[in-house]
Amino acid sequence: MIIALYPGSFDPITNGHIDIATRASKLFDKIIIGIFSTPDKRLTFSLEERVDLATRAVAHLSNIEVMPYDIITVDFARQVNAQVLVRGLRMSADYEREFEMGMLNRKLYPELELVCFMASQEYQFLSSSLMKEVASLGGNIDSLVPKHVAEALRNKGVGKE
């Protein structure tokens, strides 16, 4: 069984994230969306909220599980017996960052393969940060996130009706 780990902060999960997870779920036996508890950035949602939002967003995909973690990603990958690390690439800056991280991860966990998915054209511009900024300025984010995520953002006071 090939287990792939798709790590990130997912604050919150977007349709771009779901697109990558869906495409990965067709290639690997099991996908674990690993939600890192304390990324080095200001979060809108608690860890529990991020796990819940992501779990609801991928509930229709039977081979995806959402799990929180609070250790270095490669150690979490070992813990869940992942052989593959899944990442999404939107632009050249993502490539440079993922290449650097991939080389470090290879040093720390040589058995872990990195598989990068090119973002679908409709999501190449999308990031959680940019989406939250659009919402905070009153922009329509309905096509960028699942309905329950847009509602959760409004409940947090991000964005206007």
- In tens, the pLDDT along 10-34 reads 999 999 999 999 999 999 999 999 9
What element of type H or E holds 135?
Answer: helix 128-136
The string of DSSP letters for 7-32 reads EE--TT--HHHHHHHHHHHTTSSEEE
Residue 156 lies in a domain: no
Catalytic residue among 23, 56, 78, 90: 90
pLDDT tops 70 at residue 151 = yes
Is residue 135, in this structure, part of any structural domain at all? Answer: no
Overall number of domains in the chain: 1
Clarify whether 90 is annotated catalytic.
yes
Catalytic residue among 9, 50, 87, 128: 128
Q: For residues 134-154, give the mean pLDDT.
A: 90
| Structural domain includes residue 52 | yes
- 131 within a domain of the structure (yes/no): no
Active site residue 128: yes
Q: Is residue 161 part of a domain?
A: no
Q: Say how far apart CA 65 and CA 81 lie, in whole Å.
A: 14
Is residue 91 in some structural domain? yes
Parent domain of 60: 3-122
- Tell me, yes or no, if 41 is annotated catalytic: yes
Q: Could you tell me if residue 136 is inside a domain?
A: no
Residue 142 lies in a domain: no
Query: Of residues 9, 17, 25, 132, which has the active-site annotation?
Result: 17
Could you tell me the CATH number of the domain that includes residue 92? 3.40.50.620
Q: Is 97 a catalytic residue?
A: no
pLDDT tens digits for 92-116?
777 888 888 889 999 999 999 999 9
Catalytic residue among 26, 41, 60, 107: 41
